[in-house]
Each structure stands twice: as structure tokens, then as C-alpha cells.
A = this chain, B = another copy of it.
Amino acid sequence: MTSIYDSELDRNEANYQPLTPITFLQRAASVFPEHVAIIYGDKSICYADFFSRCRQLASVLADRGIGRGDTVSVMLANTPAMLEVHYAVPMCGGVLHSLNTRLDAGVIAFQLEHAESKVLITDTAFSKTVKTALELANVQPWLIDYADPVCSQAGERLSDHDYEVLVDSGDVDFKWLMPLDEWDAISVNYTSGTTGDPKGVVYHHRGAYLLAQGNVVTTSIQKHAVYLWTLPMFHCNGWCFPWTISAVSGTHVCLREVRAEAIWASLDDHAVTHLCGAPVVMSTILGVEEKYKRTFPQTVHFFTAAAPPPESILSQMREVGFVVTHLYGLTEVYGPAVVNDWNEDWNLLSEAEQAQLKARQGVRYHALEELDVLDPESMTAVPRDGKTLGEVMFRGNVVMKGYLKNKQATADAFKNGWFHSGDLGVIYQDGYIQLKDRSKDIIISGGENISSIEIEEVLYKHPEILAAVVVAMPDPKWGETPCAFVELVAGAEVSDSDLVAWCSDHLASYKVPRNFVFESIAKTSTGKVQKFELRARAKKLTT
């Protein structure tokens, strides 16, 4: 039945515009043109120039024929160029595809081909891997080299197109495109996944706008915040912070590498207020030589995810002036969509109790409409007892569009109207969730997801290996590293170092197992390996 409110009150240009984070930059450049947007080494870029440079790059891409729905791939470190592509690519209608800079050539080739890349902007530091990837891939993106203007890199140039030269040649008055629909894709990020090929997680303008603002609303980030880039921007578009910081007219401080001295210097020199990273980044910060430590008057907010922050780290962080907030999410939900929203009463508890509470992943972001732990069979919520295991599920506006060109995986992920995270967890009486088994085959090393199955596949290809099982082994520095249980063919003689060499030839170095156990691998009657048993044993191997 229609009501009086349903007629003659339609959408029009005046009262409806697609949500897009591009407007955050446009506003910051208009209102605070002289405010420093980006600091990188001794260079700084104000908002007026940041916006101009993005429009220039967008015009160059548009001139090259890049338009709505075209993929622009980037292989970039946390440099100003990486921030610029977050705006320039959608400004010409393109879709940003950020490559994990540590990937091996084979995976890069797969992604470029799958995403049908039209352009590849690559830091010269990664030219060797990229060159190999391009030889493997059946796609020929237009190449642009980025030569880091601050930390000069050794790698060769792959093209005649220099990023800075192109930007300079662009049109500062370029009429950038609003999305036609806020549901239009803004970026694609590939997950390593546990089985099969990587999946391309597609984000849209609406979700990017809402999560970027969600970071502000959910964590109370203030106008002119100063954000230090210790989280890789290729990871879920840097949890949408490339867009969030424009929304608060803040300052990005870029760091090419996560080094403790540089972090401490930045905190002090640039009055940093916020940074993000896996717990390993906190360990790095705390592990610095005493002489590099600085003191600073501001409170520094550290947002951590990927693994619960350990108690000792929390108390040390507090001592040196940080407030640590625990976030949780997945690539499929734009990075963080869950926050351990701290209750002030909890400050009265002991440090151990506080750490226990802080280890919980928490509650939904404002921009996520529903979060629950469900029985994946019955789709009913598990009891809020902090004990009953179920699957963590999401529903709302910061859940991906789906997986690119992968109808089945998309359908599986959205079965029964919820996004199935694959993470197992519990929910407490107060509605806070806690993960218990982060989808059991994934190894999280230094904040990066490593698929155990990918390593197993490499091992299986070795002619002397009969069976291989890879599980996570706790590691004091990286959180976890891969540990391989290997069964050799009869009579074979293979050493640890042989397998390290083999894996290094086929895998990114961070994926190479740190430990090998040679033994006959037990299987169940149905031929399955009991990974949890091996995981328990690997835990004991840690020294």
C-alpha cells in the first residue's frame, strides 16, 4: 500500500548523489588547501596539490582510454603515489587493484590476467618480479614506472613512462567523474584464500565512503589527525584510511618500510596521533634500541588487528604513551568492521583482566549493520555464553560486492543472506565476539595471511616428497610462521636446506617454512589429516 510519502518525492540531482570518498579529498582541498596532506621524508604535499596531482593523474589515465570499470593495477609501497592512486583511479572511473608487493611473480601474473589490468603502475624496486609476472601473464597493461623520490631504489625501469613526468603533464582542471551509481566498483583486492586461486574482492564507492567515515565515527578520530603509515596500503586499501584521513583533513606520514627508528622519529617530529598494524608492529616499536626512543606530548592511538594484542605488549605500549584499540575484519569487509569498543569501567580491572577483555574482537562498526556468531547449518545464533563455537557472520553496507568473476564463491560467501567469514568464534553475554580459530588453515605471519595449502602444493611438487602438511607455529616476532611436516618417498634423502631452497624458488620468502619435521604423516580413516594435532605439536616445537 502506498502512502502520501511515496508519491512526487523522487530522487533528483539536487537531493541524491552517489556516496563516494572522492568528495572527502575535494572538500579537504577546498577548505584547507594549505594544510599538509602528505609528508614523506623531507617532502610534503598540501591538500591543494594532493588534489591537483590526483586530477592530473586521472586525466593522464583518461587520455589513455581508461574509463568506467577498467582495472588499474599498482605495485607500490607506502609512498605518496599509493595515496594518489586511491583517488586518481576512481576519478577517471577506474577500479584500483593493489598488489601485495611481496607476492611472487606467478600470483601477480594470475591477478593481472584475472582482473584484466589495463594499466600497471610499479615501483622500480619491484621491477624484477613484475617483469617475470608480465612474461607469464596473458595481458599487456600500460606500464608506468614509479621511481621513489625519497628513498631511491635499485630496480630497472620497465617502460618509458615515468610517474612524476606523467603527473606533471596532466590536466589540473580535469573534470573528474562521480560514480554513476554508488554501487560502482572502486577497488579490487585479492585474498590469498585457503584453496584454489586467489579471489578478487570487489569494493564499491558506497562501502568505501561508509567505512572511511566509520573509522572516524567508531574511533573518534579528530579533525587534523596525523596518521603514520605502518599498515601496508595494499592490504584492504589500508583499511580505508587513505580516504578516512581526507575526511578529517588530516596528515598522512608515509614510511616505505616499517622500521622502529623511523617510527619513533615520526611520532615526535610530526606529532603523529594514529597508526595501525598487526601486533608485530607493536613489537617492532617496543624492541627499538633505547637511544631511538622519544617522548611526545600527544596521545597516540594504535589500532591493531590480525591477532589479539598480548598482555605484556599492551602494558608496555601504555607505558610509552599509546592507547591500543583492537579491531577485526577481513578483506571482504573493507578491513576493519569490528571494534573492541572499550568500556571505561574496564579501566578499573587488573592489567591481566583488561588484556583478556582487549583480546576479544568486539562489536560491529556503525557502518556494519549486523554481526553475529551463527551455527552455519541452522543459521541460528549461538548462545551468548562465550563458549559455544559458531561461524562469525557479517551483514551490512561494508560487506564486499562479491568476488570478481567468481559466481560460485560469491554465492557461497553470501549463502542465506549473511557473509560467512570462515572464522570460528564465540559471543559473550555482552555481545562482544571472540575468534577461536581463525579459519584454521591460514597462517598469519607479520599480519600477512599465508595459505598453508599454497605451501603444501609447492612441497607436493618436489619429486622426493610423498606428503606434506603445513601448519602455523607460534613465533615471538612474527606471531606465526609456517611449519611443514614432510613425508619423503622411500629411500629419499632431502635436508632442511634443500627444501628451503625449493620453496624459495616457488614462493615469496615470507611464506617459506621456518621448520621442517620429517615423519610419516598420520591420516584418519577417511584419508584426512588432523591438522589440529599437528598444530598442537608445532606449538611445542617453538623454543
Instruction: Report A's interface with B, CB cutoff 8 A.
Output: 1-6, 8-17, 19, 23-24, 27, 30-33, 68-71, 95, 115-116, 183-185, 188, 202, 213, 216-217, 220, 222-224, 247-248, 341, 343-344, 363-364, 366, 369-370, 394-397, 399-402, 404-405, 407, 410, 413-414, 417-419, 430-431
Contacts and interface: CB of A to CB of B under 8 A. Distances in A.
Nearest to A406: B8
Nearest to A432: B31
B399 A15 contact: yes
Contact of A27 (B19, B343, B364, B407): B364
10 contacts: A1-B69, A5-B95, A9-B410, A14-B394, A15-B400, A15-B414, A15-B419, A32-B343, A213-B366, A224-B344
Nearest to A11: B183
A405 B14 CA distance: 19
Contact of A31 (B30, B115, B341): B341
Contact of A397 (B8, B19, B30, B224): B19
A223 B363 CA distance: 15
Contacts of A217: 213, 216-217, 247-248
B14 A68 contact: no
B31 A431 contact: yes
A518 to B, nearest CB: 42
Copy tally for this chain in the complex stands at 2
B247 A15 contact: no
Contact of A414 (B5, B12, B366, B404): B12
B17 A366 contact: no
Given A2-B69, A220-B222, A397-B17, A27 B213 contact: no
B24 A407 contact: no
Contacts of A115: 4
- The winner among A12, A32, A430 for most chain B CB atoms within 10 A is A12
Contacts of A184: 5
Given A9-B402, A17-B370, 11 more contacts: A3-B69, A4-B115, A4-B404, A8-B407, A8-B410, A15-B414, A17-B396, A19-B397, A31-B363, A216-B217, A220-B223
CB-based closest 3 A-B pairs: A3-B69, A13-B417, A5-B185
Contact of A17 (B224, B363, B395, B410): B395
B9 A202 contact: yes
B69 A13 contact: no
Given A5-B95, A185-B9, A363 B30 contact: yes
A419 B70 contact: no
A14 B431 contact: no
Contacts of A224: 344
A50 to B, nearest CB: 16
B69 A5 contact: yes
Q: Which of A224, A402, A414, A418 has the most CB of B within 10 A?
A: A402
Contacts of A414: 12, 14-15
Contacts of A24: 366
Contact of A12 (B10, B188, B417): B417
A247 B13 CA distance: 28
Most B C-beta atoms less than 10 A away, residue of A10, A27, A70, A405: A27
Contacts of A395: 13-15, 17
A405 B4 contact: yes
